Amino acid sequence: MSLHLSSPVTSIPGIGALAAKDLRNLGIVSVRDLVLYLPYRYEDYSVVRPIGSLRHDDTVTVTGRVRQIESRASKNRKVTLTEAIVENETGEIKVTWFNQPYLEKTLRAGFRISVAGRVDSRFGGVRTIVSPVWEPAGDRVHTGRIVPVYGLTGTLTMRRLRGAIEHALTVAAELVDFLPAEIRDEESFPARDVAIRNVHFPESRAELDAAISRLKFDELLIHQLMFAQVRKERAVRPATSVATDAEFLKSFVQSLPFPLTQAQRRSAWEIVQDCALERPMNRLLEGDVGSGKTAVAAIAIAGVLRANHAAAYLAPTEILASQQHAALGRFFSLDDSVGLVGLLTASQAKIGGESVTRKELFAAVADGRLRCLVGTHALLQQGIEIPGLALVVVDEQHRFGVQQRKALLDRLPAPHLLSMTATPIPRSLALTIYGDLDLSILDEMPKGRKPVATKLVFDKERAAMWTQIVAEIALGRQAFVVCPLIDPSDALGAKSVTEVAAMLQRALPRTVRVGILHGKLPSDEKAAMIAAFRDRAVDLLVSTTVVEVGVDIPNATMMVIVGAERFGLSQLHQLRGRVGRSDIASTCYLAPDGWSPDAKERLTAMTRTTNGFELAEIDLKLRGAGNVFGSAQSGFPDFKLATPADVPLMKKTRDVASRILAADPELEGHPLLREFVTVSLDEVHLE
């Protein structure tokens, strides 16, 4: 039976039913899937050296004959050691494997093998390669080259997966190359099948770099062309034109209990103008923590409600939905013409401040009595129709799947969409990532808001830190303590909520009331704990990162982040934003458990600036080609290779996409490219 890209993975030698099941868990069903399953890093075993020339700490491949091999138990009898002597004409070296006694039968004396790994001379001065990869001499899949490393699952081993991919690449020539030849030539890119082969098994670093550049370019170009398609489709869809009542909006803004910043005024006006158009708005409101995005959204919603249309506010968590329901309720209570705000989550249904049944809430929405509804994904469930829906606000937009948002947006006339994010992204990057969105940026902080002092606290300084926190609590203030884990974990060695809470309850005065909050608590218990903290019935809240978004406690002036080195810069900044939400001086203590060079740079940057946009730029520099924000945090598309650090390549693909579409708007002259764009749109369901 001949092998093709469309063949099932079981067509590959060595892939039986169990391996196929494991591969299915990785999303791999066909040979094509296997070929397109890319490494996440590489081991460089391309240096091949004579055994006699090896020195301590060399990472090399050596080839020789197995002179002897035997297995024995370690001194504590918990591990089986398999030790071999490999020799050639230049010398010999000891090789050790752990818990692989079967190798004694596989690698008999006289067998010629290649082994690759790091040379260690610390064991009695004997040169040893510990836990090397190996293969029969003459093969070059696992040794003697730059070797790919893949994500694994179940019983799948690296050796088996690597071998299966190497076999699958024999049909890589069947891959369609959708990139126009003139662009390949212009950029000096390899053909697509060559790039795929070389991203798995490159012969040199130069080949690998060229392959990665080509495949990143492919991802980003398709992304830009999808953006163009989305913009074009949305431009021809009719939307409700929301009449602008400038006098009402001016009065509403004046009624707010705080003055707007210029950035808020500018952004609110951009949104109001967009909502007046007969094509759907698709705008991203980006603002640092505490920059006042909710107030801007409230102005837009108020304008929609004043014009007798409806609005929906989508929040990713019950905590944030409840928070924003309360905030909008306060804003709108200042003007009777706007009406009440409803709340719908998995555990709550409210009209205004009154709890109601879901049936009562649905009825009020259906007959138009309730025209503003705040909710979680519960808002997306089938059967909830919002008559006259003209505006959808998606808060922390990256936490919702595109398909989820589509459930609210896929109607005629199309509602206007305002997405909001508190994840600071450099403007150049945001314009490229969110190529289908117009962008409004809140780059000012409200007046009177004091920067949060940020301090690094090591072991010897922590007693003084807790003394200061107790003193602040005695003055009527409150504090957060954020931990990486809910429960103890020997494997991770990180402090957990349960451990830290128990320690604080023992060590702090009994007058300090300690609460616990984490994601595993039932919704009603989470809501009750947040309410207790807000009502000052709890002084010190020990929590996971569930408080990262949407917990607004102006009286909380202190935060301790335990194991701070385990968090990225963006997340640390989001967490810090939970304090300093009033005119009271606030402090964030970073309490690392470890101190690597990377952690030092990251945490030191946190102490230098409270500007999220500056931190985003620093993160780009610190992490280089790594995933700076994480797709889960930033909404960065789920690419296999491209990252937020690839801004120059993003700009290049944006220019190339514009050039292609200017000459061929429907891609009729580029049928393969059009097919890939169409398939990609179908897969991600972009609205």
Please give the structure tokens belonging to residue 13. 């030698």
Least confident of 336-345, 462-471, 609-618: 609-618
Q: Given the structure tokens 């117009």, which residue do they identify? A: 438
530 closest CA partner among 549, 512, 511 = 549
Residue 598 in contact with residue 592, Cβ under 8 Å? no
Answer yes or no: are the C-beta atoms of 294 and 300 closer than 8 Å. no
Mean pLDDT computed over 544-565: 87
Residue 618: pLDDT over 50: yes
Pair type for strands 91-98 and 80-88: antiparallel
Contact 643, 625 (CB under 8 A): yes
Instruction: Report the greatest alpha carbon distance in the chain.
Output: 93
- Which residue type occupies 210? A
For the chain, list the domains and their CATH numbers.
Answer: 47-144 (2.40.50.140), 191-236+646-687 (no CATH), 246-442 (3.40.50.300), 453-609 (3.40.50.300)
SS3 313: strand
pLDDT one-digit tens code per residue, 19-42: 999 999 999 999 999 999 999 889
Q: Give pLDDT tens digits for 289-346.
A: 778 899 999 999 999 999 999 999 998 888 888 889 988 998 898 776 778 899 998 8
- What the block records as the tokens of 117 is 């790994």
Q: Average pLDDT for residues 228-233, to the nearest whole number?
A: 76
Report, in angstroms and rounded to the nearest whole number, the Rg of the chain calculated over CA atoms.
29
Tens digit of each residue's pLDDT (9 = 90 or more) over 367-376: 989 999 999 8
Which of the four pLDDT bands, split at 50, 70 and 90, describes residue 629? very low
Q: Which parts of 245-392 fold into alpha helices (H)?
A: 246-255, 262-275, 293-306, 318-332, 358-366
H/E stretch holding 149 = strand 146-149
pLDDT attached to residue 627: 34
Residue 436: pLDDT band with limits 50, 70, 90: low
pLDDT the model gives residue 685: 36
Quickly state the pLDDT bin for 501 (edges 50, 70, 90).
Answer: very high
Range in 86-95, 184-193, 268-277, 420-429 with the lowest mean pLDDT: 420-429
Mean pLDDT throughout 108-137? 90
Give me the residue label for tokens 């818990």: 99
Nearest by Cα to 266 from 299, 234, 240, 289? 299
Write out 603-649 in H/E/C secondary structure: HHHHHHCCCHHHHHHHHHHHHCCCCCCCHHHHCCCCCCCCCCCCHHH
Q: Is 224 exposed, middle or buried (0-12, 13-18, 19+ CB in 10 A)?
A: buried
Distance CA 643, CA 684 (A): 18
Residue 18 banded pLDDT, cuts 50, 70, 90 = very high
Contact 267, 441 (CB under 8 A): yes
Question: Whole-angstrom Cα distance, residue 653 to residue 118?
Answer: 40
C-alpha dist (Å) from residue 314 to 95, 245, 299, 342, 375: 58, 25, 16, 12, 5
Distance CA 204, CA 198 (A): 9
User: What amino acid occupies position 567?
Assistant: F
Cα gap 453→526, rounded to integer Å: 28
Q: Which of 162, 116, 167 is nearest to 143 (CA)?
A: 116
Q: What angle do CA 658, 660, 664 make, to 5 degrees?
A: 115
Q: Where do we find the tokens 């008999």?
A: 108
8 - beta bridge partners? 30
Detail the DSSP E strand segments found in 415-539. Answer: 416-421, 438-442, 453-456, 478-482, 514-517
The mean pLDDT value for 413-418 works out to 90
Residue 9, both tokens:
């993975």
What is the pTM (predicted TM-score) of this model? 0.64
pLDDT band at residue 465 using 50, 70 and 90 as cut-offs: very high
Cα–Cα distance between 632 and 558 in angstroms, integer? 27
Sequence-distant (≥ 6) Cβ neighbours of residue 556 within 8 angstroms = 477, 478, 479, 480, 533, 541, 578, 579, 581, 586
Mean pLDDT estimate for the chain:
86
How many whole angstroms separate alpha carbon 263 and alpha carbon 259? Answer: 12
666: tokens are 């429907």
Are 172 and 145 spatial neighbours (Cβ–Cβ below 8 Å)?
Answer: no
Closest among 65, 169, 170, 41 to 115, alpha carbons compared:
65
CA–CA separation, 506 and 475 (whole Å): 21
Tokens of 553: 């406690």
* Identity of residue 255: S
What pLDDT is stored for residue 397 in this prediction?
59
pLDDT score recorded for residue 602:
85
Task: Return phi, psi of residue 198, to 5°.
Answer: -75, -20
Beta strands at 556-562 and 587-591: parallel, antiparallel or unpaired? parallel
Axis-axis angle for helices 597-608, 612-623 (nearest 10): 160
